[in-house]
Amino acid sequence: MSGSPTPASLSQVVPSDGLTEREVAILAFERQWWKYAGAKETAVRDLFDMSATRYYQVLNALLDKPEALVADPMLVKRLRRLRSTRQRSRSARRLGRDA
Please check whether residue 1 lies inside any domain of the structure: no
Range of the domain at 85: 7-94
Span 22-34, average pLDDT: 94
Most confident of 15-19, 30-34, 57-61: 57-61
Task: Grade residue 82 by pLDDT with cuts at 50, 70 and 90.
Answer: very high
Whether residue 85 is contained in a domain is answered as yes
Task: Say what percent of the chain tops pLDDT 90.
Answer: 62
Dihedral angle over CA of 50, 51, 53, 56, nearest 10? 40
Q: Residue 28: inside a domain, yes or no?
A: yes
- Is residue 2 a part of any domain in this protein? no
**What number is the average pLDDT over the span 20-32?**
95
Number of domains in the chain: 1
Q: Which residues contact 99 (CB under 8 A, 6 or more apart)?
A: 88, 89, 92, 93
Q: Is the pLDDT of residue 84 over 50?
A: yes
pTM: 0.76
In a domain, 66, yes or no: yes
